[in-house]
């Protein structure tokens, strides 16, 4: 697991709707979560993965969660649980809120060598395998296809304050799934999507943003986009 070197404080401030001073404070707090970083890095080593496909901006997720103080966070795409762990750590610091995560795991083939870059589960591990046990009290982890689980969450939850979509998606599915969950968004809800190596917002989510009246803000140097709902 790599240490995040240059978190984008301005991105955090714009999405959370706070001053640069507040955003800097929250990002500094995230950088101070050394024990969590060491735990995750150690778990990845023990899982035989020196490099794993994971969110590249976990510090911003922590900072946003501290600033927004969400009741309900929804995350799609868990894998070993780097994003989940930073979200859960911030909820724990807030002493409120629940993380609802959805994942359809893919497994490393038995007997196959550990792939260099992958999100497949190593043998004997399950979704979220790196997340510290002590943080699981605020975690509602649902195993299943996002196409099936997101509509259920949209039915069940009274609101969604923060939404992270870190999962491969074909264009039509992203639009459909954002529309499904966004009826629980409110003014100030924040949605984040990870486009990996592609540094451009996909046409489907551009269409969603126009429909919703939300402006996309790109995280510097990464294929991550955030929206703050009006
Ligand atoms: C990029 S990884 C998530 C990384 C994670 N957010 C982190 O920071 O460690 C994408 C995850 O989405 C899962 N996935 C793929 N297709 C899915 C689907 N249709 N529904 C739910 N999860 C899916 C994969 O198995 C994988 O665990």
| Domain-located, residue 143 | yes
User: Which ligand 1 atom is the nearest neighbour of the CA of 81?
Assistant: 9
Residue 148's pLDDT band, with cuts at 50, 70 and 90, is: very high
| Domain-located, residue 40 | yes
Distance separating alpha carbons of residues 159 and 161, to the nearest angstrom: 6
| Domain-located, residue 1 | no
Pocket test for ligand 1, best of 104, 128, 151 (most atoms within 8 A of CB): 104
The predicted structure's pLDDT at residue 12 = 98
Distance separating alpha carbons of residues 218 and 230, to the nearest angstrom: 17
Domain total of the chain: 1
Question: Quick one: which of 219, 221, 182, 222 has its CA closest to 64?
Answer: 219
Most confident listed range (55-64, 112-121, 196-205):
55-64
Mean pLDDT of 185-212: 91
The CATH code of the domain that includes 121 is: 3.40.50.150
Whole-number average pLDDT of the chain: 93
Does this model's pTM top 0.85? My answer is: yes
| Domain-located, residue 173 | yes
Closest residue CA from atom 3 of ligand 1: 77
Report pLDDT digits (tens) over 82-141.
999 999 999 999 999 999 999 999 887 766 666 666 788 888 899 999 999 999 999 999
| Domain-located, residue 54 | yes
Ligand 1 contacts (CB < 6 A) are: 53-55, 76-83, 102-106, 119, 145-146, 166-168
Closest residue CA from atom 7 of ligand 1: 54
Residue range of the domain that includes 121: 9-228
| Domain-located, residue 104 | yes
């Amino acid at each position: 697991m790599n240490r995040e070197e240059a978190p984008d404080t301005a991105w955090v401030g714009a999405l959370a709707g706070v001053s640069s001073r507040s955003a800097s404070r929250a990002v500094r707090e995230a950088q101070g979560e050394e024990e969590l970083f060491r735990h995750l890095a150690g778990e990845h080593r023990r899982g035989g993965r020196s490099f794993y496909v994971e969110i590249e901006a976990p510090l911003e997720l922590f900072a946003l969660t501290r600033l927004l103080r969400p009741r309900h966070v929804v995350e799609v795409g868990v894998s070993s649980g780097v994003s989940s762990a930073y979200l859960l750590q911030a909820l724990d610091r807030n002493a409120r809120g629940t993380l609802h995560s959805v994942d359809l795991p893919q497994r490393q083939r038995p007997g196959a060598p550990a792939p260099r870059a992958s999100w497949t589960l190593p043998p004997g591990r399950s979704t979220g395998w790196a997340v510290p046990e002590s943080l699981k009290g605020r975690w509602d982890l649902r195993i299943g296809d996002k196409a099936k689980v997101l509509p259920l969450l949209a039915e069940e939850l009274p609101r969604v304050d923060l939404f992270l979509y870190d999962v491969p998606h074909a264009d039509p599915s992203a639009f459909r799934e954002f529309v499904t969950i966004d009826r629980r968004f409110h003014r100030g809800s924040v949605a984040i999507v990870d486009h990996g190596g592609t540094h451009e917002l996909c046409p489907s989510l551009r269409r969603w943003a126009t429909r919703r009246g939300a402006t996309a803000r790109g995280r510097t140097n990464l294929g991550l986009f955030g929206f703050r709902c009006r």
